[in-house]
A and B are shown apart, each in its own frame.
Chain A
Amino acid sequence: MDPLWLSHFTATSSIGRGLDQTLAALRQRRAGLAPCAFDTVDLATFIGEVAGVDAVQLPAHLGDFDCRSNRLALLGLTQDGFAEAVRAAIARYGAQRIGLFLGTSTSGILQTELAYRRRDPVTGALPADFIYRTTHNTFSVADFARHYFGLTGPAVVVSSACSSSAKVFGSARRMMAAGLIDAAVVGGVDSLCLTTLYGFNSLGLVSEQACRPFDAQRNGISIGEAAAFALLERTPKHLDADAVLLLGIGESSDAYHMSSPHPDGLGARMAMQDALKMAGLNSSEIDYIHLHGTATQSNDLAESKAIQYVFGSDAPCSSTKGATGHTLGAAGGVGAVICALGLQHGLLPAGLNTRQLDPTLGLDYLLDNREQPVARVLSNSFGFGGTNCSLVFARADQTHAHAQRIH
């Protein structure tokens, strides 16, 4: 593929609003997980809640979109000058030439969960103030962003569970390569809701403490929420050395089970191999792997097998879900932004909460931060239904194309 430039990006999660707070939290090894006190949830678990989401006010003319998911989206969009960058891109390319591709697994379902508590006792009807289209519907978060920016080009939500906001990069790449658009707003938004908290609990996949990816005693996930975005543009001739480029995308399906990964990580292996192939890189050229690393027994085991197959045991890697929690449909976007920060600031972030590495997993899993030059990284996102997506990012001064331009 022709490399795509992440000209702007931002992330908001339980570890911080925007890039500065996110980078500081990573450097300080600060986690955003806390005992769950969300809504009326009575589960003994930790969650990664974004502070201040309820206080976010949507513009008056977009009041129909008001729900936790869209408040979180707006909070995320307004960090780091991202909204201004999108508006500048609209001025440059035109509102119809910018695609919008957002990933979410639950969108505004919380709004419906709450509405079901207020059904008419006689008719069973939902309350009159419930608006399905702009809150519950899977598309509502993209529809909100569309209206917020006045974008008129192709727009879609990708909703393939926890790979959603990695897969958006694939859809954006294809539409840009097809010439239908000149730039793309990509990202992911997933907010806390009861469906995922009680759902993952029903599967026995929720830890009663802060999740411990790749720990020998790991026993499940901590659910988080986040909004992460990137503006993708074609790579211009001249770029800053630390500009971040998307070099490759690999996508696959397990064809195995709805809620368990392929035991040998076969689909994950294919996704990573395809991403490297598209990037034109050997596995030895990757400096760091941002793991999906959810901290369930089976997910971490399957991912480690896949990584050993593709990379061997020496590639530095970690999961940041001990910091942010598993942000589900936003996880791919959060991973992309953490990778971009790592490339620009020379940081390989440690995995948090892990006390004793599971020796059977056999990876170079980072328990301490490493400050070093980082040239190329790979980020994994896997999800229910056996959906897998791997992304390869690099610094502009470390790509082959850059080398060719210089020499």
Chain B
Amino acid sequence: MHTLSAYIEGVGLLGPGLTDWPTSQAILSGQRPYQPHKTVLPSPALLPAAERRRSCAIVKLTLATGLEAIAAAGLDAASLPSVFSASGGDGENCHIICEMLASDDRQISPTRFHNSVHNVAAGYWSIATGAMTTSSVLSAFDASFGAGLLEALTQVVVDDTRTVLLACDTPYPEPLYGARPIPDAFGIALALAPQRGAQALAHITVSLTDASADRLDDTALEDLRIAIPAARGLPLLRGIALRQDRHVVLDYLDSTRLAVAIALC
């Protein structure tokens, strides 16, 4: 059985009723009730003014979660490779382009177009942080969190480097919402390292498994996990929040899931 291991040095979290990692730990561990409310996306202060104006929801979401994880890890984002994983690009932007292309006026704006690429968040991220490092930009539909985690772990293990995983999804408006009902913006970021550093929170060992994915006890949190691809990573965060060594199974593809052994540091 092949396993991939890394240390988690920082966590970023933003979603409905989950405003950041420090305050969300009590919710995930069951010490405080989960009260969903619409995700509030902060303005991306790190971007130059022109890019800030042009940025869309998935950019704001990714920057907020990624920077939270990296700050917690005490790292410099410019030095880190990155893995961006999302089911789709920015939902609102995609809808507006499709609407225009079906109309009599197909002249979409340059900003609309460059914001339509799946790697829009990765592009703005590198502009904001100055990172000229490699970034992998992935999609695996509902398996996107697992695909991103595997890619990030192979960077850590094979290239012996720290990296940051940014798994983020944004909702489509109608009518695409009806076809892909992602209810709200949600993102998880993890700063990962090959060696144990001063900020290490946990050591994870990941392997492929046939076992079923763990469910969350709280019904509303479980609904969130099912509804948003990036939220499939929540059982891992819950495991860390519970502050005890444990095994969790994360959802991945229909043919295989990810077994994660969590050892707290």
B208 within 8 A of A: yes
Per the bound structure, the CA–CA distance linking A153 and B2 in Å amounts to 13
> Is B131 a contact of A116 with CB atoms below 8 Å?
no
Per the bound structure, the CA–CA distance linking A256 and B132 in Å amounts to 9
Min CB distance A186 to B, Å, is: 13
Residues of B contacting A136 in the complex (Cβ-Cβ under 8 angstroms):
179-180
> Is B151 a contact of A117 with CB atoms below 8 Å?
no
B98 within 8 A of A: yes
Binds B, one of A167-175, A337-345, A358-366: A167-175
> Is B117 a contact of A177 with CB atoms below 8 Å?
no
Instruction: Please indicate which of the listed interface residues A105, A255, A383 has the most CB atoms of chain B within 10 Å of its own CB.
Output: A255
> Is A96 a contact of B180 with CB atoms below 8 Å?
no
A386 within 8 A of B: yes
**B130-153 residues at the A interface, CB under 8 angstroms:** 130-141, 143-144, 147, 150-151, 153
Min CB distance A328 to B, Å, is: 10
Contact of B127 among A179, A194, A255 (CB under 8 A): A255
B120 within 8 A of A: yes
**B106-125 residues at the A interface, CB under 8 angstroms:** 106-110, 112-120, 122-124
Residues of A contacting B124 in the complex (Cβ-Cβ under 8 angstroms):
258, 385
A93 within 8 A of B: no
Residues of B contacting A45 in the complex (Cβ-Cβ under 8 angstroms):
none
Residues of B contacting A117 in the complex (Cβ-Cβ under 8 angstroms):
102
**A267 — nearest CB in chain B belongs to which residue?**
B132
A198 within 8 A of B: yes
A235 within 8 A of B: no
> Is A160 a contact of B158 with CB atoms below 8 Å?
no
Residues of B contacting A170 in the complex (Cβ-Cβ under 8 angstroms):
134, 136
Contact of A167 among B94, B136, B178, B253 (CB under 8 A): B136
Residues of A contacting B136 in the complex (Cβ-Cβ under 8 angstroms):
158, 160, 167, 170-171
Per the bound structure, the CA–CA distance linking A161 and B140 in Å amounts to 16
> Is B118 a contact of A159 with CB atoms below 8 Å?
yes
Residues of B contacting A173 in the complex (Cβ-Cβ under 8 angstroms):
158
> Is B4 a contact of A116 with CB atoms below 8 Å?
no
> Is B174 a contact of A138 with CB atoms below 8 Å?
no
Residues of B contacting A177 in the complex (Cβ-Cβ under 8 angstroms):
154, 158
A4 within 8 A of B: no
Given that A124-B174, A195-B116, A252-B134 are known contacts, is A156 also in contact with B88, CB under 8 Å in the complex?
no
> Is A202 a contact of B107 with CB atoms below 8 Å?
yes
Contact of B122 among A152, A156, A385 (CB under 8 A): A385
A203 within 8 A of B: yes
B226 within 8 A of A: no
> Is B132 a contact of A160 with CB atoms below 8 Å?
no
Contact of A254 among B99, B116, B132, B178 (CB under 8 A): B132
Min CB distance A164 to B, Å, is: 8
Per the bound structure, the CA–CA distance linking A143 and B141 in Å amounts to 9
> Is A116 a contact of B87 with CB atoms below 8 Å?
no
**B258 — nearest CB in chain A belongs to which residue?**
A154
**B81 — nearest CB in chain A belongs to which residue?**
A251
> Is B140 a contact of A198 with CB atoms below 8 Å?
no
Min CB distance A88 to B, Å, is: 20
Residues of A contacting B46 in the complex (Cβ-Cβ under 8 angstroms):
none
Binds B, one of A47-55, A125-133, A289-297: A125-133
Per the bound structure, the CA–CA distance linking A9 and B78 in Å amounts to 36
B25 within 8 A of A: no
> Size of chain A's interface in residues, with CB distance under 8 A?
66
Given that A133-B141, A252-B134 are known contacts, is A259 also in contact with B154, CB under 8 Å in the complex?
no
Q: Mark A108-148, 1 if CB is under 8 A from B, else 0.
A: 01001100110100001110001111001111101100000
Instruction: Please indicate which of the listed interface residues B51, B97, B175, B208 has the most CB atoms of chain A within 10 Å of its own CB.
Output: B175
Residues of A contacting B97 in the complex (Cβ-Cβ under 8 angstroms):
195, 199
Min CB distance B132 to A, Å, is: 5
A387 within 8 A of B: yes
**B255 — nearest CB in chain A belongs to which residue?**
A152
A180 within 8 A of B: yes
> Is A194 a contact of B101 with CB atoms below 8 Å?
yes
Residues of B contacting A174 in the complex (Cβ-Cβ under 8 angstroms):
151, 154-155, 158-159
Residues of B contacting A124 in the complex (Cβ-Cβ under 8 angstroms):
174-175
Per the bound structure, the CA–CA distance linking A139 and B147 in Å amounts to 11
Min CB distance A82 to B, Å, is: 22
> Is A159 a contact of B110 with CB atoms below 8 Å?
no
Residues of B contacting A266 in the complex (Cβ-Cβ under 8 angstroms):
132
**B253 — nearest CB in chain A belongs to which residue?**
A155
A403 within 8 A of B: no
Min CB distance A192 to B, Å, is: 13
B264 within 8 A of A: no
**A43 — nearest CB in chain B belongs to which residue?**
B106
B26 within 8 A of A: no
Which 6 residue pairs across A and B have the least CB separation, nearest first? A385-B123, A199-B113, A159-B118, A251-B134, A152-B255, A138-B139
Pick 25 A–B contacts, CB within 8 A, sort by A. A105-B118, A112-B176, A116-B98, A119-B175, A125-B178, A137-B141, A137-B180, A138-B141, A155-B140, A155-B253, A159-B139, A161-B118, A161-B119, A195-B101, A199-B97, A199-B116, A200-B113, A202-B107, A202-B113, A255-B130, A257-B127, A258-B51, A258-B114, A266-B132, A387-B123
Residues of A within 8 A of B (CB): 96, 105, 109, 112-113, 116-117, 119, 124-126, 130-133, 136-140, 142-143, 152-161, 167, 170-171, 173-175, 177-180, 194-195, 198-200, 202-203, 251-259, 266-267, 270, 383-387
6 additional A-B residue pairs with CB within 8 Å, beyond A116-B99, A203-B113: A154-B147, A173-B158, A179-B2, A180-B150, A199-B113, A387-B135
